Amino acid sequence: MSDSSQALSVAQRHAVDELLRITPVIDELGALFHKAGEELYLVGGSVRDALLGRLGHDLDFTTSADPDTTERLLHRFSSAVWTVGKEFGTIGASKKSNGHELQIEITTFRADAYEPDSRKPIVAYGDNVQDDLVRRDFTVNAMAIDVHSKAFVDPHGGIRDLAAKVLRTPTAPEISFSDDPLRMMRACRFAAQLGFKVDPVTFNAMKAMHERIEIVSPERVRDELSKLLLADAPRPGLNLLVASGLADIVLPELPAMRLERDEHFRHKDVYEHSLTVLDQAIALEKARDYKDGKPNPHHQPDLVIRLAALLHDIGKPATRGLDGDKVTFHHHDIVGAKLARKRLRALHYPKAVVDAVGQLIEQHLRFHGYGEASWTDSAVRRYVRDAGDQLEHLHILTRSDCTTRNARKADTLRRAYDELEARIDELAATEELKSIRPDLNGDEIMTILGIAPGPQVGRAYQHMLSVRMDQGPLDHDAAVAELKRWWAAQPHPDAG
């Protein structure tokens, strides 16, 4: 048996096993729609994933029924029905089967398309599954199974492309990408999620049409980028994003890191370094989520650490310089944090994500001072306090940022960070480092000094916080004495 035939045979066995698992649900749905004189097909990603042996609990269907009819039929099938996607022809429902809650979405045969300058798709309903499938993004998502007859519908060779791990459009890619330019980014996402290659004709169309991605809303671009980054292996998808030119539009800071190197500027490839840091961050993200030596079965990919790892050096192109024969990137952490915040805001990421990623990039070099000189307990406290709720992310990013091939240097950095984490744990055990506060609060400061609320209270508070960082916790009497000592040394405009 040839490799391709064997792959097809495995895919077909997977599909049978997966479909048997959900047979009670699809049989009930099939009978319901058939009795109403409507066609119903399991479609798209659900069929693809069934063939790959990874069908989840989200099932996608397409139907000849209009949305009102679909809604009416689903109310007979489930008590949990929702219509948030009805304007796009989609009705949803949930149903328990074999102990699992299945999420079901049924969409009327349709074709989404864009006007040349529109950011929103125009929804047009169709009247047959063949026309629905030809307008889907890739052949591997353009397969369907008739829920009533169990007939397999594959007019564009999707199962063969699935076996060959190739992404190809059902129609000419120029037509497909013109209808929905976001499909070009989906190709990058599937390259990451599935490990598939884009066929040459499709890739050439992506390169030729990459600027059309500009008409797609920032939210849709953001969601595709996030899905790509949350894949187990984002690197192939990111490489495709850059090679196609799409990154020049949606994330220009990424290709900008491919700095030219010559006899003057000899340094590691910043772009490749960043992808390696991302790879290492993902491995650490998973490794640090172990419990009792076993991986956490509920582990979720971490978008913040992955964005920070990818973008941590985006300030280098703007800060590259020479100091004698040495290449420098002075303050690239500060510049990079500003660039990252600006880009993530443009992509409409939530403020919490923007702030966290910016903070991590801004602080990712802090540790290197530890390896060069012994830190006091005060410095360790400040490191923890400044990291705040991003401390675990900072641990991962800092460790991942070591990509040197010099085994001795890498081991020295690893041991230094092991030591820093151990010191953090020791101090945390006695001082609650993550929530360090001064030994006196604002009300106590005002009472002791006999002053009203105002800037002086804030300055006193900051002084006592600095003392807490430098000296650790003080008892109440010592804290009061220190506050009075500081206050006596301050200029008082109203005095004498």
The CA-to-CA distance between both ends of the chain, in Å, stands at: 101
For residue 283, tell me if it sits in a domain. no
Looking up residue 138, the CATH number of its domain turns out to be: 3.30.460.10
Identify whether residues 264 and 403 lie together within a single domain.
yes
pLDDT tens profile 188-224: 999 999 999 999 999 999 999 999 999 999 999 999 9
For residue 278, tell me if it sits in a domain. no
Average confidence score pLDDT of the chain: 87
Identify whether residues 241 and 261 lie together within a single domain.
no
For residue 495, tell me if it sits in a domain. no
Strand partners, 107: 62, 90
Instruction: Determine the average pLDDT of the residues in 96-117.
Output: 79
- H-helix or E-strand spanning residue 280: helix 270-287
Per-residue confidence at 114, pLDDT binned at 50, 70, 90?
Answer: low
Strands (DSSP E) contained in 193-259 are 197-198
Total domains in the chain come to 4
Identify whether residues 176 and 219 lie together within a single domain.
yes
Identify whether residues 90 and 70 lie together within a single domain.
yes
pLDDT given at position 7: 62
In the predicted structure, residue 107 carries a pLDDT above the cut 90: yes
pLDDT given at position 496: 42
pLDDT given at position 295: 64
For residue 105, tell me if it sits in a domain. yes
Identify whether residues 404 and 430 lie together within a single domain.
yes
Q: How far apart are CA 112 and CA 187, in angstroms?
A: 17
For residue 289, tell me if it sits in a domain. no
In the predicted structure, residue 372 carries a pLDDT above the cut 90: no
Tokens in use for 91? Answer: 């009705």
Q: How far apart are CA 173 and CA 356, in angstroms?
A: 38
Identify whether residues 381 and 451 lie together within a single domain.
no
Rg (CA), the chain: 29
Final residue of a domain: which of 164, 198, 231? 164
Q: How far apart are CA 176 and CA 395, in angstroms?
A: 43
pLDDT given at position 474: 85
Check if the beta carbon of residue 27 is closer than 8 Å to that of residue 54.
Answer: no
Of 492, 411, 427, 412, nearest in space to 459 by CA: 492
pLDDT given at position 6: 66
How far are the Cα atoms of 15, 27, 43, 367 from residue 20, in angstroms, in the given order?
8, 10, 16, 54
In the predicted structure, residue 263 carries a pLDDT above the cut 50: no
Q: How far apart are CA 30 and CA 32, in angstroms?
A: 5
- Provide the 8-state DSSP code for 87: G
Identify whether residues 68 and 20 lie together within a single domain.
yes
Check if the beta carbon of residue 158 is closer than 8 Å to that of residue 142.
Answer: yes
Per-residue confidence at 124, pLDDT binned at 50, 70, 90?
Answer: confident
Q: How far apart are CA 344 and CA 365, in angstroms?
A: 21
Identify whether residues 388 and 458 lie together within a single domain.
no
For residue 89, tell me if it sits in a domain. yes
Of 100, 169, 164, nearest in space to 141 by CA: 169
Other CB atoms within 10 Å distance of the CB of residue 84: 9
Q: How many CA atoms lie within 13 A of 86 on its CB side?
A: 12
- Provide the 8-state DSSP code for 43: E
Looking up residue 191, the CATH number of its domain turns out to be: 1.10.110.30
Q: Give the rounded percent of residues in the chain with a pLDDT score beyond 70.
A: 86
pLDDT given at position 3: 57
Sign of the torsion formed by the C-alpha atoms of 209, 214, 220 and 225:
positive
Q: How far apart are CA 194 and CA 175, in angstroms?
A: 24
Least confident piece of the model among 68-72, 117-121, 353-357, 388-392: 117-121
Tokens in use for 210? Answer: 């990459």
pLDDT given at position 371: 61
Check if the beta carbon of residue 327 is closer than 8 Å to that of residue 266.
Answer: yes
Identify whether residues 311 and 244 lie together within a single domain.
no
For the entire predicted model, the pTM comes to 0.81
Q: How far apart are CA 186 and CA 178, in angstroms?
A: 14
Final residue of a domain: which of 192, 216, 251? 251
Tokens in use for 418? Answer: 């092991």
Identify whether residues 157 and 176 lie together within a single domain.
no
Residue 51 CA, distance from chain mean position: 26
For residue 96, give its domain range: 1-164
Sign of the torsion formed by the C-alpha atoms of 405, 409, 413 and 418:
positive
Fill in the amino acid letter for 178.
S
Instruction: Determine the average pLDDT of the residues in 320-326.
Output: 76
pLDDT tens profile 295-317: 666 778 999 999 999 999 999 98
pLDDT given at position 319: 86
How far are the Cα atoms of 416, 448, 462, 486, 496 from residue 492, in angstroms, in the given order?
46, 16, 18, 12, 9
Final residue of a domain: which of 419, 435, 451? 435
For residue 493, tell me if it sits in a domain. no
Identify whether residues 265 and 409 lie together within a single domain.
yes
In the predicted structure, residue 183 carries a pLDDT above the cut 80: yes
Check if the beta carbon of residue 301 is closer than 8 Å to that of residue 234.
Answer: no
Check if the beta carbon of residue 110 is closer than 8 Å to that of residue 123.
Answer: yes
Check if the beta carbon of residue 245 is closer than 8 Å to that of residue 261.
Answer: no
pLDDT tens profile 65-75: 999 999 999 99
Tokens in use for 448? Answer: 């002791």
- Provide the 8-state DSSP code for 375: P
Strand partners, 295: 290
Q: Are strands 197-198 and 166-167 parallel, antiparallel or unpaired?
A: parallel
Tell me the three state secondary structure of residue 490. Answer: coil
pLDDT given at position 216: 94
Instruction: Determine the average pLDDT of the residues in 378-390.
Output: 85
Tell me the three state secondary structure of residue 439. Answer: coil
Fill in the amino acid letter for 36.
A
pLDDT tens profile 32-63: 999 999 999 999 999 999 888 888 889 999 99
Q: Give the rounded percent of residues in the chain with a pLDDT score beyond 90.
A: 52
Of 130, 131, 91, nearest in space to 111 by CA: 131
Identify whether residues 53 and 126 lie together within a single domain.
yes
Instruction: Determine the average pLDDT of the residues in 141-148.
Output: 92
For residue 290, tell me if it sits in a domain. no
Check if the beta carbon of residue 174 is closer than 8 Å to that of residue 209.
Answer: yes
